[in-house]
Amino acid sequence: MTPQHLLSVADLGPEGIDEVLRLADTFVEVGRRPIPRVPALRGKTVASAFFEDSTRTRLSFEAAAKRLSADVMTFTSSSSSLNKGESLRDTVLTLEAMGVDAFVIRHSCAGVPAQVAGWLESAGAASAAAGPGGAGGTGGTSGTSGAGGAGGASAVTGPRGASVLNAGDGAHEHPTQALLDCFTISRERERRFGHSPARPAVLSGLRIAIVGDIRHSRVARSNVIAFSTLGASVTLVAPPTLLPPSLCGWPVEVSHDMDGVVAKSDVVYLLRLQSERMNEQFLPSLREYTATFGLTAERARLLGPSALVMHPGPVRRGIEIAAEVADSPCSVITTQVANGVAVRMAVLYLLLGSGAQVGA
């Protein structure tokens, strides 16, 4: 994590991930209170700007911001002035002029959150150069943010400017999904099996299999980085057509033997076939995919007694995972969702609340 944005889980390093996960423990406790709210981000405004469909990530970021007492603005692209020809840059800078402190951005194109962060930083630099009463942080889209004459990176958001949190960009990254998955594995193993590692975030020695459509998955990319950063051994299991064209530099093993991997894994992490990102035929048939790579009820009998089954959602029951396996005790799919709120509270707090850097 840079001091200002969360664009990739790779920015965090082991210390940064550990810091987020330790803070998330505190926010899990807050979530159990009769009134699950703290004043940590009172006066801050978080905009959720989702240009691609979402249930879990959008609602959990919004719940997290509200539990921290931030104001939440929900931007809906389908009913916005984007439809009148306004550019994405002008849209973002217009929202910033209204006093947004953090943008939570999902987009179908890889790199959009980083691009938005760059626009915000450039606008802030232009505002700072203009000085008090200058053009403001909107890049000329609106003059309102310069009116206060703060003379910083942005007259509205102050010298740090607005933060950007990547809520999933194309097939690139989904950093908060990886953080909540690390949190879930660590804390669920501790809760179930009494593991009490000295450093709670460490997944050292665990064998984690990520199964399915790796090629189109931002979750797989962020999780490979996060799991390996915390010391786990990661095996990708997929048909050759659903692996990335190159795995050069990926700290993983690859297998096509689903039965063998399931039998020896501590965590089996299933992915959805992302048909919205497929522009050609990658599989002979869904039936064959399920038979070879699905976690069927029969295959789930190979799981070890302490194995966890995970999925980022949305789940397509009967394809990558059988319904009865998704609902079985080894599945922590709903725990992942619940933990997502606390982990996103931690990330928002670290970026907006304390202003502290995370990691090195």
Q: Is residue 66 within the footprint of ligand CP (CB under 6 A)?
A: no
Q: Is residue 133 within the footprint of ligand CP (CB under 6 A)?
A: no
Cβ closer to ligand CP: 177 or 339? 177
Q: Fill in the per-residue mask, 84 to 103: x = in contact with ligand CP (CB under 6 A), - = not in contact.
A: --------------------
Q: Is residue 163 within the footprint of ligand CP (CB under 6 A)?
A: no
Full strand arrangement of the beta sheet holding 233-237: 252-255, 233-237, 207-211, 267-270, 308-310
Shortest Cβ 316–ligand CP spacing (Å): 13
Q: Fill in the per-residue mask, 170 to 189: x = in contact with ligand CP (CB under 6 A), - = not in contact.
A: -------x------------
Shortest Cβ 55–ligand CP spacing (Å): 4
Q: Fill in the per-residue mask, 295 to 324: x = in contact with ligand CP (CB under 6 A), - = not in contact.
A: -----------------xxx----------
Shortest Cβ 168–ligand CP spacing (Å): 6
Considering CB under 6 A, how many residues would be counted as binding ligand CP?
9
- Element (H or E) spanning 334, and its range? helix 333-348
Cβ closer to ligand CP: 136 or 313? 313
Rounded-to-integer distance, Cα 231 and Cα 226, Å: 9
Rounded-to-integer distance, Cα 226 and Cα 186, Å: 12
Phi, psi of 236 (to 5 degrees): -95, 135
Cβ closer to ligand CP: 207 or 272? 272
Helix (H, G, I), strand (E, B) or coil at 64: helix
* DSSP assignments along 15-56, one per residue: HHHHHHHHHHHHHHHHHTSSS----TTTT-EEEEEESS--SH
Q: Distances from the Cα of 329 to the Cαs of 123, 192, 309, in angstroms?
A: 50, 11, 9
Q: What b-and-e string marks burial along 127-149, b requiring 16 or more CB atoms within 10 Å of the CB?
A: bbebeeebbbbbbebbebbbeee
Q: Is residue 57 within the footprint of ligand CP (CB under 6 A)?
A: yes
Among 54, 69, 142, 274, which residue interacts with ligand CP (rule: CB under 6 A)?
Answer: 54
Q: Is residue 56 within the footprint of ligand CP (CB under 6 A)?
A: yes
Q: Is residue 168 within the footprint of ligand CP (CB under 6 A)?
A: yes
Cβ closer to ligand CP: 55 or 87? 55
Shortest Cβ 59–ligand CP spacing (Å): 8
Residues contacting residue 27 through CB under 8 Å, at least 6 positions apart: 64, 67, 341, 342, 343, 345, 346, 349
- Strand 267-270 to strand 207-211: parallel, antiparallel, or no bridges (unpaired)? parallel
Shortest Cβ 271–ligand CP spacing (Å): 10
- Enumerate binding residues for ligand CP (CB under 6 A): 54-57, 168, 177, 312-314
